[in-house]
A and B are shown apart, each in its own frame.
Chain A
Amino acid sequence: MRKALSFVALMLALVLTLSGCVLRGPETEAAGEISLPEPDSEPENMILGESISGNLREVALYRAAADFSSFSTVNQNLRAEVGQSLPEAAVEALLASGDAVNAQEAYDVKLLGCEYACGTATVNLSIDARNASSPQALLALEAAIGNTLLGIKGVRGVNVLIAGMSEGCFQLPVGVQTGIVPSVTAAYAQLQAESDRLSQSDAAPIERTAMLYFPSEGGGWLVPELRVLSVSGGAFAPALIDALKAGPRDESSAIASIPEGVELLEEGPTVETLATGERVLTLNFSPALANYLAFSGLEVWELAGSITLTMTSFLPELDGVRVMVNGEPITMCAIGDTLLQFPDGMMRRRDFADRVGSVATLFLLDGADRLTPVERAVSMRSALSPKSLLTELLSYAGAEGAAYRLPLSVNVYAEDLLGVQVVGGIARVNLSANFYRSCQRLSPRAERDLVYAMVNTLCALDGIRAVRFYVEGRAADTLAGSVYLRSPLLPSPGLVAEATAAP
Chain B
Amino acid sequence: MAFSVIGFSLIQLVGEYLFTQRSRDDQRIADSLAESFSDYLVAFDAGSMYESALETAREQQSRVLVLDALCVVQVDTASELNGQRFITSEIDGVLKGSAGAHGFYDAGRASGNFWFRAVLNGFSGANAMTGVFASPIQSGGELVGVLVYISQVQEIYESLRDLQIRILSWMAIVLAAVLVVDLLVLRTITRPIGELNEGISRMSKGDLSARVRVRGNNEFAGLARAFNSMSERLEQLDNSRSQFVSNASHELKTPLSTMKILIETLMYQDPMDPAITKEFLTDVNKEIDRLNRIVSDLLTLVNIDSGVKLNAAELDIGSLVSEQVKRLSPLARENGIELDCVAKETLEVNGDQLKLQQVVYNIIDNAIKYTPRGGEVHCSVIRSGRKAVIRVSDTGVGIPQEDLPHIFDRFYRVDKARSRETGGTGLGLSIVKQFVLLHGGTIDAKSAPGKGSTFIIELPLAEKKRDG
Q: Which residues of A contact B (CB under 8 A)?
A: 1, 4, 7-8, 11-12, 14-15, 18-19, 21-23, 25-32, 34-37, 39, 425-426, 448, 451-452, 459, 465-466, 482-484, 486-495
Contact = CB atoms under 8 A, between A and B. Distances in A.
B89 A34 contact: yes
Nearest to B130: A27
A494 B76 contact: yes
Nearest to B71: A36
- Greatest chain B CB density within 10 A among A22, A452, A489, A491 is at A22
Contacts of B161: 23
Given A4-B182, A7-B178, A495-B82, 16 more contacts: A11-B175, A14-B1, A22-B15, A25-B160, A27-B104, A36-B71, A37-B70, A482-B84, A484-B70, A484-B72, A487-B74, A489-B83, A492-B76, A492-B82, A492-B83, A493-B79
Contact of B83 (A19, A30, A36, A484): A484
A325 B157 CA distance: 78
B370 interface: no
B87 A36 contact: yes
Contacts of A493: 46-47, 50, 79
B171 A11 contact: yes
A28 B15 contact: no
B287 interface: no
B55 interface: no
Contacts of B85: 36, 484
Nearest to A489: B83
Contacts of B82: 448, 452, 483, 489, 492, 495
Contacts of B71: 36-37
Interface string B59-95: 0000000001111101111110011110111001001
A498 to B, nearest CB: 13
Interface of B: 1, 4, 8, 11-12, 15-16, 19, 43-47, 49-50, 54, 68-72, 74-79, 82-85, 87-89, 92, 95, 103-106, 109, 111-112, 129, 157, 160-161, 164, 168, 171, 175, 178-179, 182, 186
A1 B16 CA distance: 39
A58 to B, nearest CB: 15
Contacts of B11: 22
B79 A494 contact: yes
Contacts of B15: 22, 25-26
Contacts of A486: 70, 72
A34 B79 contact: no
B79 A492 contact: yes
16 contacts: A8-B175, A11-B4, A25-B15, A25-B106, A25-B129, A25-B160, A27-B105, A36-B71, A425-B44, A451-B83, A452-B83, A487-B74, A490-B44, A490-B49, A490-B74, A492-B76
Contact of A18 (B8, B19, B49): B8
- Greatest chain B CB density within 10 A among A31, A487, A495 is at A487
Contact of B92 (A11, A34, A426, A487): A34
Nearest to B77: A494
B111 A30 contact: yes
Contacts of B70: 36-37, 39, 484, 486-487
B4 A15 contact: yes
Nearest to B109: A27
A1 B191 CA distance: 13
A341 to B, nearest CB: 49
Contacts of B106: 25, 27
B44 A488 contact: yes
Given A34-B87, A452-B82, A489-B82, A14 B4 contact: yes
A457 to B, nearest CB: 14
B92 A35 contact: yes
A239 to B, nearest CB: 38
A285 to B, nearest CB: 46
A323 B342 CA distance: 168
Given A34-B87, A36-B85, A490-B75, A26 B50 contact: no
Given A25-B129, A452-B82, A19 B104 contact: no
Nearest to A487: B72
Contacts of A4: 178-179, 182
A490 B72 CA distance: 10
Contacts of A36: 70-71, 85, 87
A482 B84 CA distance: 6
Given A11-B171, A27-B105, A30-B111, A426 B44 contact: yes
Nearest to A448: B83
A495 B46 CA distance: 12
A490 B46 contact: yes
Contacts of B77: 494
Nearest to B115: A482
Contacts of B164: 19, 22-23
A28 B102 CA distance: 9
Nearest to A447: B83
Contact of A30 (B4, B43, B112, B182): B112
- Greatest chain B CB density within 10 A among A1, A19, A426, A452 is at A19
B89 A494 contact: no
Contact of A459 (B4, B46, B160): B46
B156 to A, nearest CB: 9
Contacts of B160: 22, 25
Contacts of A484: 70, 72, 83-85
- Greatest chain A CB density within 10 A among B72, B77, B182 is at B72
A34 B146 CA distance: 15
Nearest to A34: B92
Contacts of B112: 30
A392 to B, nearest CB: 22
Contacts of B69: 37, 487
A47 B87 CA distance: 32
A284 to B, nearest CB: 50
B178 to A, nearest CB: 8
Nearest to B84: A482
A35 B95 CA distance: 10
B43 A465 contact: yes
Nearest to A479: B83
Nearest to A485: B83
Contacts of A1: 186
Contacts of B79: 492-495
A225 to B, nearest CB: 25
A26 B19 contact: yes
Nearest to B145: A487
A328 to B, nearest CB: 53
A486 B83 CA distance: 10
Given A30-B111, A483-B83, A491 B46 contact: yes
Contact of B50 (A22, A29, A448, A494): A494
Contacts of A32: 89
B19 to A, nearest CB: 5
Nearest to B51: A493
Contacts of A11: 1, 4, 171, 175
Contacts of A494: 50, 54, 76-79
A7 B186 CA distance: 16
Contacts of A37: 69-71, 95
A18 B75 CA distance: 42
B258 to A, nearest CB: 69
A154 to B, nearest CB: 14
B168 A15 contact: yes
Contacts of B75: 490, 492
Nearest to B85: A484
B168 A19 contact: yes
A300 B293 CA distance: 167
Contacts of A25: 15, 104, 106, 129, 157, 160
A15 B171 contact: yes
Nearest to B165: A19
The 5 A-B pairs of least Cβ separation, nearest first, read A494-B79, A483-B83, A465-B44, A490-B46, A492-B82
Nearest to B14: A22
A494 B63 CA distance: 13
A493 B44 CA distance: 13
